[in-house]
């Protein structure tokens, strides 16, 4: 056996050179083996680029699996809770997958690239689970995380920027995907994203990554294009009401304590669970949960005041017999909504839409801690849901 030289330390994404060139604060962290920026110059400005212009985010470290073969459709259909027969080639599905106990292993997007050829894209790694699930199916599963460079181009002017780069995506519907040729290579573009705004994700071979970045930035010069880090993206996704693994739920596989993981019904994702499907992972447990009632409920909170309710307890009453009914999992002051917003988890039957609850916010002023009880309303819709997000053809800005 020979000892191969393996890469030590953090990996650099194919877009690294371009991000490094724009970086002025040198604030990076590790994400699935890659070094990625929290921010490149100012997270607030990067955030405003998402909402007012175009922001570009390197999502190459997202875990990507290719699922293909004659049984690819029945395989993914049994894997996830939603009906994948409805996801035709050229469409993308947001999906969750569960273990036999009906607990969410992770969420992600499944791209139906071509007939019977899928890409599953998720935050966490799942090769073992995907392989275990392949028993009895004629499918091939391969990891293509490092073989595909991915770039999110998000914001109201994103369509215009791509048009100017010669990529006509105006008619692409939300959750649609299409193929282009770029620099002699195949460029896949999907109208997807994690910002809740108009936006696209671009998928290309790593050796064309820098050329693609340069073309997009060249085209975006007049419309305020910016590169962004994960801080800005996190704020945008909370506004959009998107849940994130390890923040808003714990992936079931590494979770040890019982009751700490969540079912899709407990994450506000019942719309993703199709009980008409006869077999899918978690079906029996979820059907039982549906009959007997869930323990937890996912909530979106519109909170009084302006102090972000990070990690706050949630109470049903302000005073007397105060009993914590849950806690906040993600919180932020939303600049675009001018609201103090949060995502959280509360015990059933609390947390119905329209209910008022109380949030205990701790904050620090010059070393000393203070506490306020802020009133909060449970709201139904994501906080930020602009018409341009779903308008087709995409609105020109």
Partner 1 sequence: MTERYDAIVIGAGHNGLVCATLLARAGKSVLLLEANEQVGGAAVTREFSDGFSVSACAHLLYQLQPKVMKELGIKPKLLGDDLKTIALAADGNHVSYDTESVAGVSDTDVASYKEFAKRMRRFAAIIRRLGNRPPPRLGSSHLKDTAALARLGVDMRLLGRANMRELLRVIGMNIHDELTERFENPLLKGALSVDATLGTHLGPRSPTTMLTYLHRLAANDGRVSQPAGGMGKVTALLAQAAREAGVQIETGRRVLRIIAENGRVTGVQTEDGECYDSYTVVSNADPKTTTLDLLGARHVETGFAKRVGNIRANGNAAKLHLALDGLPAIAGLQQSALGERIVIAPDEHYVERAFNPAKYGEFSTQPVIEMTFPSVRDETLAPAGKHVMSAIVQYVPYELRAGWDDAARADLMRAIFDVLATYAPDLEERVTASELLTPVDIEREFHIGGGHWHHGELSLDQFLFVRPVGGAAQYRMPIDGLFLCGAGAHPGGGVSGAAGRNAARSIIRLQR
Contact residues for partner 1, defined by CB under 8 A = 71, 74-75, 78-79, 99-101, 129, 132-133, 135-137, 278-284
Tokens representing 51 are: 């909402």
The least distance separating partner 1 from the CB of residue 297, rounded to whole angstroms, comes to 23
Buried/exposed code over 52-85 (b: 16+ C-beta within 10 A; e: otherwise): bbbbbbbbbbbbbbbbbbebbbbbbbbbbbbebe
Closest CB to partner 1 among residues 79, 219 = 79
Closest CB to partner 1 among residues 108, 282 = 282
> What is the distance between the alpha carbons of residues 393 and 349, in angstroms, rounded to a whole number?
41
Closest CB to partner 1 among residues 288, 323 = 288
The least distance separating partner 1 from the CB of residue 111, rounded to whole angstroms, comes to 21
Tokens representing 235 are: 């704020």
Closest CB to partner 1 among residues 15, 129 = 129
Closest CB to partner 1 among residues 100, 168 = 100
* Closest listed residue to residue 341, CA positions, set 369, 379, 372: 379
Closest CB to partner 1 among residues 85, 284 = 284
The least distance separating partner 1 from the CB of residue 138, rounded to whole angstroms, comes to 10
The least distance separating partner 1 from the CB of residue 98, rounded to whole angstroms, comes to 9
The least distance separating partner 1 from the CB of residue 284, rounded to whole angstroms, comes to 6
CA 162 → CA 111, 168, 223, 242, 269, distances in Å? 21, 7, 11, 25, 32
The least distance separating partner 1 from the CB of residue 19, rounded to whole angstroms, comes to 38
Closest CB to partner 1 among residues 119, 283 = 283
The least distance separating partner 1 from the CB of residue 292, rounded to whole angstroms, comes to 11
């Amino acid at each position: 056996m020979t000892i191969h030289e393996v890469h030590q330390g953090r990996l650099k994404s194919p877009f690294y050179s371009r991000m490094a060139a724009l970086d002025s604060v040198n604030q990076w962290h590790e994400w699935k083996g890659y070094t990625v920026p929290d921010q490149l110059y100012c997270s607030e400005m990067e955030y405003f680029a998402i909402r007012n212009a175009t922001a570009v985010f390197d999502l190459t470290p997202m875990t990507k699996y290719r699922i293909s073969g004659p049984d690819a459709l029945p395989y993914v259909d049994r894997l996830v809770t939603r009906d994948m027969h409805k996801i035709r080639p050229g469409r993308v599905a947001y999906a969750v997958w569960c273990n036999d106990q009906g607990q969410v292993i992770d969420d992600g997007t499944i791209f139906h690239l071509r007939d019977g050829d899928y890409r599953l894209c998720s935050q966490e790694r799942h090769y073992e689970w995907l392989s275990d699930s392949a028993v009895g199916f004629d499918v091939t599963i391969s990891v293509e995380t490092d073989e595909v460079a991915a770039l999110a181009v998000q914001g109201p002017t994103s369509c215009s920027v791509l048009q100017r780069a010669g990529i006509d995506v105006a008619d692409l519907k939300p959750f649609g995907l299409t193929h282009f040729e770029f620099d002699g290579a195949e460029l896949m573009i999907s109208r997807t994203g994690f910002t809740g705004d108009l936006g696209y994700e671009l998928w290309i071979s790593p050796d064309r990554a820098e050329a693609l970045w340069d073309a997009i930035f060249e085209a975006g010069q007049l419309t305020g294009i910016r590169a962004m880090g994960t801080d800005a993206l996190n704020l945008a996704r909370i506004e959009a009401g998107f849940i994130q693994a390890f923040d808003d739920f714990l992936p079931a596989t590494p979770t040890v304590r019982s009751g700490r993981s969540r079912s899709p019904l407990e994450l506000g994702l019942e719309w993703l669970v199709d009980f008409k499907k006869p077999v899918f992972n978690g079906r029996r447990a979820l059907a039982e949960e549906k009959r007997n009632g869930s323990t937890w409920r996912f909530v979106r909170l519109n909170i009084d005041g302006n102090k972000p309710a990070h990690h706050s307890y949630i109470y049903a009453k302000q005073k007397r017999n105060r009993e914590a009914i849950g806690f906040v999992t993600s919180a932020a002051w939303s600049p675009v909504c001018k609201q103090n917003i949060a995502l959280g988890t509360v015990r059933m039957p609390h947390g119905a839409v329209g209910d008022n609850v109380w949030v205990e916010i701790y904050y620090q002023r010059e070393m000393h801690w203070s506490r306020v009880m802020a009133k909060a309303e449970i709201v139904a819709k994501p906080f930020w849901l602009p018409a341009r997000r779903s308008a087709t053809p995409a609105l020109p800005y």
